[in-house]
Structure 1
Amino acid sequence: MDLRFLTDLTDHPGPFATVYLDASRDTADAARQDTLRWAGAREELAGRGADVATLAALDRAVEDAPPPAGRAGRVLVAAGGEVLLDRVTGAPPERPSAQWSPLPDLLPLLLALPEPTRAVVVRVDETGGEILLAGPEETPAAVEQVPGRGHPVHKVPAGGPAHLNMQERVEETWRRNTAEVAARVDAHVSASGAAVLVLAGDARSRSRLRDALSARAAAIAVDLEHSGGPTDVDTLAAAVREAALDAVDARRHAVIDRYAEAAGRGEGFAVAGLAPVLAALRAEQVDTLLVDGSVARDTEVWFGGPATAVALTVDELRMLGSEPVGSAPADAVLVRAAVGGDAAFHPLGGGRTGLVGHEVSDGVAALLRYPFVGTG
C-alpha cells in the first residue's frame, strides 16, 4: 500500500486526536446513535487534554459528513485545530476509540483500508466496444465508445465463391474493429495504472480482443462470462470488485514470496524484529514495511523531529544525533517512519488467501532497497 496519503500527518508536530467510530446507518435510530458515539468520543478526548480548536474542527467534520450506506466505520485524525484525515471504512472498527497522543494511531486504519485498485472494463462485440473505468470502491463509468469502422459484421448462410468472399470481408471487419478497441483499451490501462482489466461480451469477441491486447493489458485481463445487457452495471461492478480482490491477493502473495525468498538467501535484503527494522527505517533502506496485528503496540519507541529519527531508547536516539521529541507505541512510530522514508506498507495475516502463519519477531519485518548492515 502506498502511504503517501499520510504525508501531511508526518509533517505536523501534533499532538493528535485519533478517533475510530462506528458510522453504521443500518438501524432506525442510526442518526441518534451517531450523535451519542461522537459525544462519548469527544468527552474522552477532552478528558485527555485535547484543545478546544481541535475538538471544534472534529465537531464540524462529524456534523457535515454525509452518512455512509449500511455498516461502516469512520476514522478521523485532527491536530492544531484542523482535521488532517477523514476516511470511511467498509466495516465498523473492532474497537472504537478516541486517543490524544504524540503521534496518530494509524495501524488499525491501514489494516482496515482496502488496497486501492483501479480497473478498466470493456464491453466488446463485432461492431466495436465501450470502455469503462472504476476506481477503488467505485461503480464502473463509461469513458469512451469505440464504434469500429467497417461493415459487414455478420456472416450469412450461403455458398459459392461470393459467399467465401463475404465471409472473408466480415472476418477482416472483425479484425479491424477488434484492433481499434484493443488499442484504446491498452491506452486506458497504461494511463490509469489499472491492476485489473475486465472483458465483457460474447466469448468469441472476448477471445479476439484478448489476442489483440498488449502484453501488459493481457496479463491483468479477466473474462466476465455472463455480462448481461448493455446497461447491466451492477454485474460489471460485482465483477470488478471480485477481480480487484483477486488482484490484491496476488500482490500480497508476491510480497510474501519476495520476503521469504530474500530472508532465505540471507543477503541482507530482509530483516525482522523491532530493532533491525528501526535501524533500516533510520537509514531509509526500507522498501516495504510488513506489519502483523501482533506488533508490540505496548512497547514505547522514541522518535525525533524527522520522521526517520527513531530508536528503542532515548539514549540511543541522542547517540545517533537526534534530539528526542517523545515516545509513542511502536506501531505508530513505525508507520510514521515508513511514510517519511517513502516505504510501502503491507499487512501480514488475514485476507482471503490465508496469509496468516508468516510469523516474524515482534510482528514486524521489512523488505529492503539495499542490504542491511546494522549500523545507525
Structure 2
Amino acid sequence: MDLAFLHPLYEHSGPWASVYVDLSRHAEDTPHERELTAQAVARELAGQGADEATCRAVRDAVDELRHASDPHGRALFARDGEVVLDPPLARAPVRGSSAQWAPLPRVSPLLELAGEDPVCVVAYIDRKGADFELRSGLGSHEAGSVSGRQWPVHRTSSVDWSERHFQLRVENTWEHNAAEIADALAVCQEETRADLLILVGDARERRAVHERLPQRLYGSVVEADHGTGSRLLDEEVEQARAEHVRRRAQEDLDRFLAARTPGGEGRTAAVEGVPALVEAAREHRIDELLVRPDGPDTHREVWIGEDPDQLAVRRTELKTLGEQHSWSARADDALLRSVVMTGAPAISVTPALPEDAGDTPAGGLGALLRWS
C-alpha cells in the first residue's frame, strides 16, 4: 500500500483523534443513527482526554455524513480542532465505529480497511468492440467503449472459393477488432491506473484480446467464463479482487520469508520483532513493512520523539539519542509513521496467511530491508 497520502498526518505533532465510522448500513433511520454515532464518538474521545475543539470538529464531521452514500465507511483524523484527513474506506470496520485519542494517529487499520483495494477495468468483449466498466471497493461506473470494424464478423458454412475468401476477411476483421480493443484497454488501464483487467466474453474473443495486450499487463489479466454481453455480478468481481489481493500479499510474504535466510556473508535482507524493526526504522533501512494486524507485537509499547526516526524500545534510549521529549505509542503506528516519511510502502499479510501459519512474521511485524 502506498502511504504517501498520510503525509499530512505527520506534518504536525499530536495528540490525534482517530475515528473509524461504519457507513455500510443504509436504511430509513440511517441519518438518525449516524447523528447518534457522531455524539457517541465525541463522548468517547472526551473520555480519553481529547480537547473540546477537536471533539467538536469530529462530531461535526461525522454528523455531516448523515446522508453520505459511502458504501463502507470513512476514517477521520483530527487534531487541534481540525479534521486533517478523511479517507474513504474500501471495507466496513469489522467492529463498527470507533474512536481513539493518542500521541500518534491510529493508521494501522487502514492497511486492511483502505489498503490493497484493487481498481478493476471489466471489459465486456464481442466481435464488434467492447464496453469498459471501472470497479473498485467504492462502486462502479462506465469507463468508455471501443468499436472495431462492423463487417464482416460472422462465419459461413460454405466451402466454395468465394466463401473461403469471405471467411478470411472475417478472420482479418476479428484480428483487427481484437487489436483495437487491446489498445484501448491498455490506454484505459494507464489512465485509471487499474490494478486488474477482467475480460468477459466468448473464450476465443477473450483470448484474442488477451494475446494482444502489452506484455507488462499479462500478470494483471483475469478471464471470466461468461457469454457475450453478460454483466459480472458484484460478488464475481469481489472474488477476482480478493484473489488479486491474496496473490500480491503472497508474493510479498514469499519475498520476506526468502530474505530471512542469511546470504553469503551471513546477513539477512529482512528483520522481524520490535527491537530489530525499531533499529532499522531509525536508520531508514525499511524497504517495505509487513503487518499482521492481530499480531501481539503490533500494540506493544515503544517510545517516540517529535521526529519520525526518533523511536526506541525503551524511553531511556531516546534520552541517549538526545531527545528531550518522548511519548509512548503503539509499535505498529510508530513504525508506520517512520515508513511514511521515508517513502516505503506497507502491506497487511493476513490475506496470504493460512489458519495454521503460526507467528509469521514474528509478533505480527516484519520488514524487507533496503540494505543489510
Give the structure-2-normalised TM-score.
0.88
Paired amino acid for 1:186: A
Identity of aligned residues (%): 35
What residue is the counterpart of 1:165 in the other structure?
A: 165
Contact 2:122 2:200 in 1 (8 A): yes
Check 1:201–1:31 CA distance in 2 against 1; reply closer, same or farther (3 A cut). same
Paired amino acid for 1:65: L
What residue is the counterpart of 1:175 in the other structure?
A: 175
Contact 2:20 2:99 in 1 (8 A): yes
What residue is the counterpart of 2:366 in the other structure?
A: 365
Paired amino acid for 1:126: R
What residue is the counterpart of 2:262 in the other structure?
A: 265
The DSSP-based 3-state class of the residue aligned with 1:142 is: strand
Measured after TM superposition, the shift of residue 323 of structure 1 is: 4.1
What residue is the counterpart of 1:282 in the other structure?
A: 282
Deviations 1:95-139 (CA, angstroms, capped at 9, x unpaired): 754322211222233333351212222222222222333344331
Q: Distance in 1 between matches of 2:32 and 2:192?
A: 41
What residue is the counterpart of 1:134 in the other structure?
A: 135
Is 1:251 matched up with 2:252? no
What residue is the counterpart of 1:17 in the other structure?
A: 17
Contact 1:287 1:344 in 2 (8 A): yes
Check 1:361–1:182 CA distance in 2 against 1; reply closer, same or farther (3 A cut). closer
What residue is the counterpart of 1:374 in the other structure?
A: none
What residue is the counterpart of 2:201 in the other structure?
A: 201
Deviations 1:329-376 (CA, angstroms, capped at 9, x unpaired): 2222122112122221122435686584243333311111111xxxxx
Deviations 1:4-40 (CA, angstroms, capped at 9, x unpaired): 2211111121211122344453666544443333323
Measured after TM superposition, the shift of residue 249 of structure 1 is: 0.5
What residue is the counterpart of 2:333 in the other structure?
A: 332
Higher mean C-alpha deviation, range 197-206 or range 43-52: 43-52
Alignment of structure 1 residues 289-368 onto 2, 5 Å:
289-292=289-292, 293-296=294-297, 299-349=300-350, 354=355, 356-368=357-369
Give the structure-1-normalised TM-score.
0.87
Which segments of 5 or more consecutive residues in structure 2 lack a partner in the other structure?
none
Q: Distance in 1 between matches of 2:28 and 2:50?
A: 32
Check 1:219–1:332 CA distance in 2 against 1; reply closer, same or farther (3 A cut). closer
Check 1:81–1:156 CA distance in 2 against 1; reply closer, same or farther (3 A cut). same
The DSSP-based 3-state class of the residue aligned with 2:149 is: coil
Alignment of structure 1 residues 30-45 onto 2, 5 Å:
30-45=30-45
Alignment of structure 1 residues 59-78 onto 2, 5 Å:
59-67=59-67, 72-78=72-78
Number of equivalences: 367
Q: Distance in 1 between matches of 2:25 and 2:91?
A: 12
Contact 1:288 1:368 in 2 (8 A): yes
What residue is the counterpart of 1:152 in the other structure?
A: 152
Runs of 4 or more off by more than 6 Å in structure 1? Answer: none
Contact 2:71 2:139 in 1 (8 A): no
Measured after TM superposition, the shift of residue 227 of structure 1 is: 5.1
Contact 1:73 1:92 in 2 (8 A): yes
Q: Distance in 2 between matches of 1:241 and 1:298?
A: 31
Q: Distance in 1 between matches of 2:66 and 2:41?
A: 19
Paired amino acid for 1:193: R
Measured after TM superposition, the shift of residue 70 of structure 1 is: 9.9
Q: Distance in 1 between matches of 2:26 and 2:128?
A: 45
Q: Distance in 1 between matches of 2:169 and 2:84?
A: 61
Contact 1:274 1:361 in 2 (8 A): no
The DSSP-based 3-state class of the residue aligned with 1:129 is: strand
What residue is the counterpart of 2:226 in the other structure?
A: 226
The DSSP-based 3-state class of the residue aligned with 2:59 is: helix
Q: Distance in 2 between matches of 1:258 and 1:150?
A: 48
Higher mean C-alpha deviation, range 269-278 or range 99-108: 99-108
Contact 1:263 1:269 in 2 (8 A): yes
Q: Distance in 1 between matches of 2:335 and 2:90?
A: 22
Q: Distance in 2 between matches of 1:323 and 1:193?
A: 44
Q: Distance in 1 between matches of 2:116 and 2:48?
A: 33
Q: Distance in 1 between matches of 2:299 and 2:175?
A: 63
Is 1:47 matched up with 2:44? no
Higher mean C-alpha deviation, range 262-271 or range 279-288: 262-271
Q: Distance in 2 between matches of 1:23 and 1:190?
A: 31
Which segments of 5 or more consecutive residues in structure 1 lack a partner in the other structure?
372-376
The DSSP-based 3-state class of the residue aligned with 2:169 is: helix
Q: Distance in 2 between matches of 1:193 and 1:118?
A: 8
